């Protein structure tokens, strides 16, 4: 994938370490190329294209039949019911294969994936990474995940239950805005670092660092 260099990783890791100096909270950062393959979206589009081709043939069959007659020698003939059915099915299969092939190209597949679908998949993937990498893995259940999905151009902030009970979801809006402002300019590491610093400030207010606090989760950025 190669979105970030080692120096970029250091920027994010250092931001996490610095943010955790004043809080018992633990911050985990994850950078993903994509949150889903969207094979179901490809299937839906391919099926839609297939039915569209068959419907078009059913409505205006003559141009298709004339084209076929010209391809096989230029002689016209009376089409039988079986030949019409074969032509319909063949057009549907050809359109399905063409749609599947076209949507195998990442830029087109992501462009044709509805925005709500992408948002839902990114959120679901962020929750999955949180459950694996941060949820209930700290002594006080004070883990927060910053998740960035590059292909979908979306980010999520997920917090452990004790944090969610004290910090409303809208409070994370500033961290999200600061993070995305940098990322939109192509500064991915700086954007993640900005988000981490904002999250650290929020955690410091509600979960200040104790004298015996220990670093329970790695500070390093995880790329998946």
> Tens-digit pLDDT profile for the chain (224 aa)?
578 889 999 999 999 989 888 888 888 899 999 999 999 999 999 999 999 988 888 888 777 777 766 766 666 666 777 877 888 888 899 999 999 999 999 999 999 999 999 999 999 999 988 887 665 555 557 788 999 999 999 999 988 888 888 887 788 888 888 889 999 988 999 999 999 999 888 888 888 877 665 656 767 888 88
- Helix (H), strand (E) at residue 118: helix 115-133
- As a whole number of angstroms, the distance between CA 175 and CA 146 comes to 10
Question: Whole-prediction pTM value?
Answer: 0.81
Residue 74 makes CB contacts below 8 A (sequence gap 6+) with: none
Strand segments, DSSP code E, in the chain are 26-32, 143-149, 154-159, 222-223
Contact 2, 184 (CB under 8 A): no
Closest listed residue to residue 31, CA positions, set 110, 149, 123: 149
**Which ranges of 72-113 would DSSP assign to H, the alpha helix?**
81-102, 106-112
């Amino acid at each position: 994938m190669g979105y970030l260099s080692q120096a970029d990783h250091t920027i994010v890791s250092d931001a996490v370490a610095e943010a955790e100096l004043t809080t018992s909270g633990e911050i985990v950062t994850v950078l993903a190329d994509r949150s889903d393959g969207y094979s179901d979206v490809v299937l839906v589009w391919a099926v839609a294209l297939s039915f569209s081709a068959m419907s078009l043939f059913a409505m205006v069959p003559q141009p298709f039949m004339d084209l076929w007659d010209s391809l096989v020698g230029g002689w016209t003939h009376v089409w039988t019911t079986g030949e019409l059915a074969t032509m319909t099915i063949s057009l549907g299969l050809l359109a399905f294969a063409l749609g599947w092939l076209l949507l195998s190209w990442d830029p087109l597949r992501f462009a044709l994936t509805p925005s709500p679908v992408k948002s839902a998949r990114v959120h679901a993937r962020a929750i999955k990474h949180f459950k694996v990498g941060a949820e209930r893995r700290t002594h006080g259940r004070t883990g927060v995940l910053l998740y960035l999905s590059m292909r979908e151009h979306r980010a999520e902030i997920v917090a452990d239950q004790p944090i969610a009970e004290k910090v409303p979801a809208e409070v994370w809006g500033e961290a999200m805005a600061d993070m995305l402002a940098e990322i939109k300019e192509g500064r991915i590491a700086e954007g993640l670092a900005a988000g981490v610093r904002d999250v650290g400030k929020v955690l410091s207010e509600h979960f200040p660092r104790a004298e015996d606090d220990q670093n329970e989760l790695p500070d390093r950025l995880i790329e998946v």
